[in-house]
Structure 1
Amino acid sequence: MTDDIMARVAAANPVPELELTAEESARAQRSLERITGTERKPGRWLAAAAAAVLAVAVVVPVIGHQAPVATAVDVLQAAGEASANQPNATDTGVTNQEYLKRVDTDGTATVTTEYEVAGGQLRQDTASTGTLSPQLAALADGPAIALESLAAATTADALARLATGTYGSLGVGSLHLLLHPGLSSQQQRLVYENLAGAGGNELAHADRTGAPDEAVTVIRDEDQLSFTVLPSTGQLIHAHGLVGPGVTTTVEATAILGCVAVTGLEGPEDISLACADNNYLVTDLKWSRWGAETATATGKAFINDCDPFCAQGTMEEFPVTVTVRDLRTCGYNARLYSAVDVAFADPARNETFEVGCAPEVS
C-alpha cells in the first residue's frame, strides 16, 4: 500500500528541479495559496511556511484547481505503516539504545539537542547559540512527557489524550510526539493515524529526486505550521512553527546504537566500555578535535580487577589517552565513531573497542 501511495505522490510532481528561479518561487507561492484554499495575499505565517517548504524541498507541485493525486491523509497513513516496520532498539539487542539529534532555530538563535534512550533512561545533551526566545530556552528542560508516561500510552486513544493534554490540540501534540525520544515504532504508527484523523492536513510538496526517500511536506493552516516526512520510513524530518512562531525544527539524525556508543555535542565526559556495568570506565575526558575524523582525549580509566570475582573486585585507576575514529553512517543521517582506542602507560594494556551503530542496522 505504501508503494502505491508514493506512486500517486510522485505523480503530483514528476519532474525534479535543483534550483528555483524567481518566477518558479512565485509560482510555488501561488501553489501554496491554492493548496491551503486561499486566493488571498499570504500573511506572515503563510509566507514563512512557503519559505520553510522551499528550504527543505526543491519543488512545490503545481496542481492548479485539481486535487492532488495523493492526499495528505494518504501520505500520513503511508508514513504510519512504514514506521511500524522500523525496528525498535530492543528488537535488535536488549542493550541497544535509541539516538536522536535535532536542531531548533528562529534565525537568530539555535538550540542543538542530542537524546539517547536506553533501559528506560534518557540522556540529553543540549547546546545553544544566540539569545534564546522562551520557546527555544524551554527545550533545555527536556521533553514535556516523561518516558514512563509515554511507554504507558499503548493505544491510539491513550496517545491522543497524551498529545492533547500536554500540547493543547491533537495535531500539534501528535507532531511533538513524533519528535519525542523513546517513541516506539508501533506508537509512531498510532500517532500518524491520530494525526491523519485530526483533519486540517493539506499536501504542499512532493520531492521527486529519484532518491529512495522522497520528502513530502504537509501544511496545517489552522495551527500555522508545516512539517515534512519521509513516507517510505515514517521519519519526521522537519517542522516549521511547531515549537513556536518562526521556529524551524530539523531532525538531523536518528539511529539505533549498540550498547556502547561515543556521542555528545562536544564529546562525552565518561564512556562505560563494559556495556551493562561500570567494570571498565574511562572518565574525566578532555577532548580535542571532537567531530573530526579522529578525536583524542586524556582522562582516567577505572578497571575492575574482578578478583576473586567482579562483585568483590577492586577498581584500579590508570591515566589513559582515548582516541575515537572511523566515522560510520547508520539510521537516518547518523554519523558516529565506530572504534575507541585506549592507550596506557604500559602499551601491553592497550585495547580497542568496537562502538557506535548497532551492527544489525548499520
Structure 2
Amino acid sequence: MGTHPMRTAVTLCAAAALALPLGTATAAPSAERTGHGHGRNPVLVDCLWKPEVRPGAFLLACGDGNSRLESLRWSHWNSKSAVARGINWLNDCKPDCASGTFRSYAVIIRLDQPRTWEKDPDLKQFTRMSLTYTDGRPEGYARTETYDLWG
C-alpha cells in the first residue's frame, strides 16, 4: 500500500463508496416497469395522493373500499391515454354494504383527459377513467361506466 497505508486505505474506501451508487443505478429496474416513475407521461393519482404509472391495483372507492381494480395488465400508457385489462371487485351491498358480498367483473380500463396536477404542476394526471365490463356487469350498471378522477 505504499508509505501511507492509512491514507491509501481511506482513498480506496472513498472510491468504492462513490462507485457503489453508479452500479446500483444502472442495475435498478426502470421506473416504467416498477410503477413508481412517471417521466413525461401522465400519472394516475391514488387515494393517498401518490402518483403512479401502470399500477397493479387501484382503489376506486376511497371512502369505503367497496370498489377496487386488481390484476391490472397495462397494454398502453402514453401522453394521451392508457389502457389495461383487469378485475373490478365490487361490493353488491346486499342487504347492506357491511353485509354485502364482493363480486368480480372482468373490465377494460381506459384513462384519458390528462391535465396538470394541482398538487404538483410539473406532472400531468389522467382525470377520467372508463370501465367497460366484458363478461357480465353489476346490476344497474351500464356496459361502460365513466368516472371523473380526483386530483
Normalised to the residue count of structure 2, the TM-score between the two structures is 0.61
Give the 3 Å change call, closer, same or farther, for CA 131–298 of structure 1 in structure 2.
closer
Give the 3 Å change call, closer, same or farther, for CA 343–258 of structure 1 in structure 2.
same
Kept after mapping to 2: 8 A contact 1:281/1:303:
yes
2:121 alignment partner in structure 1: 332
> Which of 48, 56, 63 is residue 276 of structure 1 equivalent to?
63
Write the distance in 1 (CA, Å) between the matches of 2:55 and 2:64.
Answer: 17
Whether 1:343 aligns to 2:137 is no
> Which of 49, 52, 64 is residue 264 of structure 1 equivalent to?
52
Write the distance in 2 (CA, Å) between the matches of 1:262 and 1:339.
Answer: 17
Whether 1:310 aligns to 2:97 is yes
Number of equivalenced pairs:
110
Note the C-alpha offset of 1:260.
7.7
Give the 3 Å change call, closer, same or farther, for CA 310–270 of structure 1 in structure 2.
same
Write the distance in 2 (CA, Å) between the matches of 1:259 and 1:279.
Answer: 13
Quick check: which one's strand share is greater? 2
Whether 1:319 aligns to 2:106 is yes
- RMSD value over aligned CA atoms? 3.1
Note the C-alpha offset of 1:275.
1.4
SS at match of 2:63: coil
1:130 alignment partner in structure 2: 26
Give the 3 Å change call, closer, same or farther, for CA 260–344 of structure 1 in structure 2.
farther
Give the 3 Å change call, closer, same or farther, for CA 315–274 of structure 1 in structure 2.
same
Kept after mapping to 1: 8 A contact 2:85/2:108:
yes
SS at match of 1:310: coil
One-letter amino acid of the counterpart of residue 341, structure 1 = S
SS at match of 1:298: strand
One-letter amino acid of the counterpart of residue 352, structure 1 = T
> Which of 60, 83, 91 is residue 296 of structure 1 equivalent to?
83
Kept after mapping to 1: 8 A contact 2:130/2:145:
yes
Note the C-alpha offset of 1:351.
1.1
- What does 1:1-362 correspond to in 2, within 5 Å? 130-131=26-27, 259=47, 263-265=51-53, 267-330=54-117, 331-345=120-134, 346=136, 348-357=142-151
| Cα-to-partner distance string for 1:60-108 (whole Å, 9 max, x where unaligned) | xxxxxxxxxxxxxxxxxxxxxxxxxxxxxxxxxxxxxxxxxxxxxx9x9
Give the 3 Å change call, closer, same or farther, for CA 129–287 of structure 1 in structure 2.
farther
Write the distance in 2 (CA, Å) between the matches of 1:284 and 1:258.
Answer: 16
Kept after mapping to 2: 8 A contact 1:300/1:319:
yes
SS at match of 2:107: strand
Mark the runs of 5 or more structure 2 residues left unpaired by the alignment.
1-18, 29-39
One-letter amino acid of the counterpart of residue 351, structure 1 = E
One-letter amino acid of the counterpart of residue 302, structure 1 = W
Note the C-alpha offset of 1:281.
0.8
Write the distance in 2 (CA, Å) between the matches of 1:298 and 1:329.
Answer: 26
Write the distance in 2 (CA, Å) between the matches of 1:302 and 1:320.
Answer: 10
Quick check: which one's helix share is greater? 1
Write the distance in 1 (CA, Å) between the matches of 2:88 and 2:102.
Answer: 9
Give the 3 Å change call, closer, same or farther, for CA 324–263 of structure 1 in structure 2.
farther
One-letter amino acid of the counterpart of residue 286, structure 1 = R
Note the C-alpha offset of 1:334.
1.6
SS at match of 1:312: coil
Normalised to the residue count of structure 1, the TM-score between the two structures is 0.27
One-letter amino acid of the counterpart of residue 294, structure 1 = S
Mark the runs of 5 or more structure 1 residues left unpaired by the alignment.
1-105, 111-127, 133-251, 358-362
Give the 3 Å change call, closer, same or farther, for CA 297–287 of structure 1 in structure 2.
same
